[in-house]
Each structure stands twice: as C-alpha cells, then as structure tokens.
Amino acid sequence: MGGAVRATPIYALRSQPQFSSSAQAVGLEPRRTDIPLAGQLAFTVDDVLTKDECDTLLSVAESLGFRDDAPGINTPPGMRMNKALHWVADDGVAGAIFSRIGHLLPPVLEGDRLASARPLSHRMNMYKYDANDVFNMHTDGSWPGYGLSEDRERMMEWMGCESKLSLLLYLNGPEDGVEGGHTKLYSRDGQVVEVTPKKGSALFFRHGFGSGSVLHEGALVTSQVPKYVARINVMYDL
C-alpha cells in the first residue's frame, strides 16, 4: 500500500544457474516483433528462455521468498499490489540472456550506445501476482546498473551507464493456468495495447522520465495460479 520498508533484503546466490549463451544450442530462435505505439518504443522478443530455464528461475525465487515490500521501491498507496523479490545474478544468467537477444536491441538510444561492458543489469527484480493482484498504471524510472562484488557479499553500482529500457521477462503464462495479468501499454494518443504473458518471452519498452517513457499497467490476475515476471534493466553508456 505504498511507502517503503527499511532493510528490505536483496539476495545473492553462492552458486548460480548457468544458462547456455547460445539460443540455438537449447532449441530457441529469438525473434523481435515491434509494437505500434504512436512512435514510442516497445517490442516483444519470443524464445528468450526455455521452459526449463523459466522453471529454474521460479525455483530460485520461491526458495528465497517473495515479500509485500520491495527494496528501494517507493510507490503511492494502491499502485503496486503484488509481491516482490530482488536478487543479483551474474553472467551465467544475465550474460547468457544478452548473448541470445543482444542483436535485437537498439544499439543507440537518444545518442547513447548500448553499454559495451555489461548491457543488462544483474539485478533481477522479480514479481509475483497472486489472484486479484495488480500493478496499476505507471512508468518505470531509470536505474544504475548493479552487479556482485568479487566476494559475492555486496551489490556494486556500475558507473558511467544508465538504464533506458525495461525488459519484462515472463516466467509463466496461460499455458500454466494464468488468467488475466496482461501488460497494458498506453500510447500518447490514447491507444491501448495488451501483451499476453507468454512463458519464456520478453516485453521491452522505453522507460525513464522523458516524453518517450511508456505508461503501462500489470493487469489484474484472476486465476488461482500466480503470474511471475522478472524486470531487468537494459543499460546504455552515458
């Protein structure tokens, strides 16, 4: 119901999943579909993760546990009505995902190039939508990139880059019994586009505090099966 809770944890794993950097090696063919949104940037990419890889991330998340509060997130009362978990991955997850989809991302946004060192933040913001959960209309802010220190005990902020795109990775969908939970995108001219969660696919859209930031909503989940999604920030060099 809004506000912030002090000392909300961010987790790291002593041993992390290791995904293949080759989509073809695991039977995937990532493909991009642009979404007409009155000139605002939004697109989907299918075949980002296999079903087994999605289940692996869900197993990690559920073992760590979801909470009502989210670290560093402060929303107005009634906006974010879901459960959250933040953890820090490494190249075994984030690097592998980028290796599969990097060629489909905008190489330059507003004069800034896709980050050369680590284009995907390693901070994984995961959300669980139980029945009647919703994330009401909002825009995503821009964030620094984050990774783990060498001793895996601290989260380190990356300097010289800033996020410009949200990557919403759908970890389950209607094929798993999820009902509702569409992501609604609102254009500047009043158009509404609904994106149905699809296990292993991702939705990308421009975020930040400029005019191009896409207003969106995580629609109400109506099933007893929860919807799971991970937000990863796409980084650009400043």
pLDDT tens-place string over residues 52-87? 999 999 999 999 999 999 998 888 899 999 999 999
- pLDDT score, position 209: 87
Flag whether 206 is in a domain. Answer: yes
Flag whether 5 is in a domain. Answer: no
Q: Is residue 232 packed enough to be buried (19+ CB in 10 Å), middle (13-18) or exposed (0-12)?
A: buried
Flag whether 219 is in a domain. Answer: yes
Flag whether 32 is in a domain. Answer: no
d(CA 105, CA 155): 26
d(CA 197, CA 173): 5
Range of the domain at 126: 40-72+80-223+233-237
Tell me if residue 84 falls in helix, strand or coil: strand
Give pLDDT tens digits for 171-196: 999 999 999 999 999 999 999 999 99
Which of the pair, 152 or 199, is modelled with greater confidence?
199
Flag whether 151 is in a domain. Answer: yes
- pLDDT score, position 74: 85
Residue 214's pLDDT band (cuts 50, 70, 90): very high
CATH code of the domain containing 46: 2.60.120.620
Confidence check: pLDDT of 208 > 80: yes
Residues in CB range of 103: below 8 A, 6 or more apart: none
Into how many domains does the chain fold?
1
Q: Is residue 23 packed enough to be buried (19+ CB in 10 Å), middle (13-18) or exposed (0-12)?
A: buried
Residues in CB range of 27: below 8 A, 6 or more apart: 50
What tokens were used for 130? 């139980």
Flag whether 33 is in a domain. Answer: no
Average pLDDT estimate for 81-110: 96
Flag whether 4 is in a domain. Answer: no
Give pLDDT tens digits for 17-38: 999 999 999 999 999 999 999 9
pTM of the model: 0.96
Which residue has 């605002």 as its token pair?
40
Flag whether 27 is in a domain. Answer: no
Contact of 89 with 122, CB cutoff 8 Å: yes
